[in-house]
């Protein structure tokens, strides 16, 4: 076994390692460092407007000539349900008062931002786009393909992976339940948080049921996880938390320190911050919201309703009132440069493979 | 890397593969077949009285001269809370009426059974005992050690693994959230079901924090999972569901067929059947119990309250009213002899290792 595969060949990267496109936490420096190290840096563009995305792409291009990707959220186009919003605003009122904040005016730009983002990645010749929260329409995938853009999707179950392949995506990230941040689920399950299948279970079952290459994600932090994932049948891995705590990441010190100081049992899945299930370190905001007796407004409405609270809390160093996305392997998180992490992982991976 | 390790050396087995001691589902034929194939067959003795345990041990000894183990449940000695029992009996009344069953008389023999079981494994020179639901008292571990019995524990978190080592256990099974059947958790967490950490995350973090050998469990069904686990730092693996569907297993066809026909997203964690969290295929009994508005009586009280319902339902082929324990990798379940499964896994494992 070696590290080249259809993933590295098709994406023209040296090593089968993706740095997850963590919306709000990636920086051009991080993305470029990963790509310059032979992996695939991914701009976490889920929350960006057109200007932010253009700027990030240009800054990445100044720092690397290697391939990189952009991650986008497939719009859900959820209706704003006025009673839900009123009810949530009442719940959030004391939080806002504590931080001296007004009730926000909702300004949902989800569809518009998505469409601009597509135009931008095409205009900027970004070679790879990764999608979360659903599969894009066939027309869109065809359009991206006509512009020689490789399209990568996300699946949290075998059915979702099959859906990705059927829709024409070129590759799929198999996101195990260990993964930090937003769950990429888009098909209904009996559970309220979508499919929560561990990486050890999920990867071989998806590999056996699709023909497109599979990228494993969820709990992978070092060479052990990389090689284990390749053994399970993945052709590459995607790491989030591992890069989130790197020096170049855009995550604030509050979040990085929370990860460094947490145990593998400290995370929960919650819709409290954004309206979509996401894994993060448990805290007061999440805990309190468990008593909320109505539907939490869907993403991106809840995300907008809590945004100012979260930002202010983070600025003030209040870890109880902001989102602390993290996977289930925080004990392996390191505070090093991304290039150093890549170099460690690649060396260790090669050692493991030589000793087989 | 090869398949010998301190686990195979200390237990005197050829291959680092344990067949999980699944209470109620193991048979002497299954246990012996695994041991005869070079793995470690484990008698699932958690529910056995003294006579049942003696008989099983003797039958296994007639079928194999290789090492085998017995799995026991560390007693929790939970109080019977009369109001809880009355309330639950009221809830279960319609179920019992449907199956023509009387209200059972509780006869909790947990501690007595455990103590007899210890005497029996010593008297019968069983070489290895595995424990779930807690760490045994130091005196007990010392006693087992004096009789040259290797003691293996279970952990669902790093803290629990450290506790196992501190208590003097020789090895620890790291049980990831993918695992089917009862969760081996014994330390409190903020979640109601104990630690639920995926195998990909759990194994390396436990390996890094204990010096005793670690056996990986949770979602492992074939050589890919075996080798992946060894790469993550485990020195052996324990498989449950993979052996549950083998021909020799004592699981009824209802359960085996439910597993063959289920997807990886069909399981949930529930206390409904036994009072302890366990992973099984979702069904009506579990679903209804989610509306129950009181504390479910602790194990083994709930287990006794629902026992007759579950047995009758299984006899009548009613999959909605009995427990259907399964891990998260049902798509890889096979209906073959255990010796054939072992031979497949060993051959495939050796192939993977040669191709590294």
The whole-angstrom separation of Cα B350 and Cα B17 is 13
DSSP B219: S
Q: Which residues contact B95 (CB under 8 A, 6 or more apart)?
A: B285, B309, B321
Residue B222 has a pLDDT of 98
Tokens encoding A192:
């309220």
Instruction: Decide if pLDDT at A275 tops 80.
Output: yes
Q: For residue range A67-124, what is the model confidence (pLDDT) as tens digits?
A: 999 999 999 999 999 999 999 999 999 999 999 999 999 999 999 999 999 999 999 9
Averaged pLDDT, B273-290:
97
Question: Would you say the ipTM is above 0.90?
Answer: yes
The whole-angstrom separation of Cα A16 and Cα A8 is 6
What residues of A are in contact with residue B200 (Cβ under 8 Å)? 176, 178, 198-200, 218-220, 225, 228-229, 329
Instruction: Decide if pLDDT at A335 tops 80.
Output: yes
CA distance A195 to chain B (A): 6
The whole-angstrom separation of Cα B236 and Cα B349 is 12
Instruction: Decide if pLDDT at B347 tops 90.
Output: yes
The whole-angstrom separation of Cα B24 and Cα B322 is 13
Residue A355 has a pLDDT of 85
Residue A2 has a pLDDT of 81
Give the strand order in the sheet containing B214-217.
B17-19, B236-239, B214-217, B171-175, B150-155, B128-132, B68-73, B41-44
Contact flag A263-B159 (C-beta cutoff 8 Å): yes
**Across all residues in chain B, what is the average pLDDT?**
97
Residue of A192, A200, A241 to mutate when probing chain B, most B C-beta within 10 A: A200
**CB-closest option in A189, A228, A282 to B200:** A228
The whole-angstrom separation of Cα A261 and Cα A98 is 26
B6-354 topology per CATH: TIM Barrel (3.20.20)
pLDDT range class, residue B9, cuts 50, 70, 90: very high
The whole-angstrom separation of Cα B167 and Cα A44 is 46
SS3 A181: strand
SS3 B308: helix
What residues of B are in contact with residue A241 (Cβ under 8 Å)? none
Q: Which residues are registered as beta bridge partners of A70?
A: A43, A129
pLDDT range class, residue B200, cuts 50, 70, 90: very high
Residue A93: count other Cβ atoms within 10 Å of its Cβ: 12
Contact flag B157-A265 (C-beta cutoff 8 Å): yes
Tell me the torsion sign for CA atoms B47, B256, B273, B92.
negative
Tokens encoding A183:
């769950």
SS3 B40: strand
């Amino acid at each position: 076994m070696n590290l080249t595969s259809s993933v590295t060949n098709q994406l023209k990267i040296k090593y089968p390692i993706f740095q997850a496109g963590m919306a709000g936490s990636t920086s051009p420096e991080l993305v470029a460092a990963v790509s310059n190290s032979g992996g695939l840096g991914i701009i976490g563009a889920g929350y960006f407007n057109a200007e932010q995305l253009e700027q990030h792409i240009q800054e990445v291009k100044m720092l690397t000539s290697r391939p990189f990707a952009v991650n986008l959220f497939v719009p859900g186009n959820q209706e704003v349900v006025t009673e839900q919003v009123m009810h949530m605003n009442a719940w959030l009122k004391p939080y806002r008062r504590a931080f001296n904040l007004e009730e926000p005016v909702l300004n949902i730009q989800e569809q518009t931002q998505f469409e601009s983002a597509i135009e931008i990645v095409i205009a900027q010749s970004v070679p790879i786009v990764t999608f979360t929260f659903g599969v894009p329409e066939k027309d869109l995938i065809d359009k991206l393909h006509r512009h020689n853009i490789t399209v990568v999707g996300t699946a949290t179950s075998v059915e979702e992976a099959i859906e990705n392949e059927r829709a024409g995506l070129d590759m799929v990230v198999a996101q195990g339940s260990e993964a930090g941040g937003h769950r990429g689920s888009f098909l209904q399950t009996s559970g309220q948080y979508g499919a929560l299948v561990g990486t050890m279970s999920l990867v071989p079952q998806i590999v056996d049921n699709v023909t497109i290459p599979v990228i494993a994600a969820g709990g992978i932090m070092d060479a052990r996880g990389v090689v284990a994932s390749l053994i399970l049948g993945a052709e590459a891995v995607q790491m989030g938390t591992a890069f989130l705590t790197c020096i170049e990441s855009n995550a604030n010190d509050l979040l990085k320190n929370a990860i460094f100081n947490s145990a593998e049992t400290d995370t929960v899945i919650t819709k409290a911050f954004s309206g979509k299930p996401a894994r993060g370190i448990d805290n007061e905001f999440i805990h309190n919201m468990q008593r909320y007796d109505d539907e939490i407004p869907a993403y991106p409405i809840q995300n907008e309703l809590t945004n100012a609270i979260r930002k202010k809390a983070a600025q003030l160093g209040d870890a109880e009132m902001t989102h602390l996305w993290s996977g289930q392997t925080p004990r392996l998180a390191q505070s090093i440069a991304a290039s150093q992490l890549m170099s460690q992982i690649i060396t260790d991976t090669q050692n493991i493979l030589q000793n087989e």
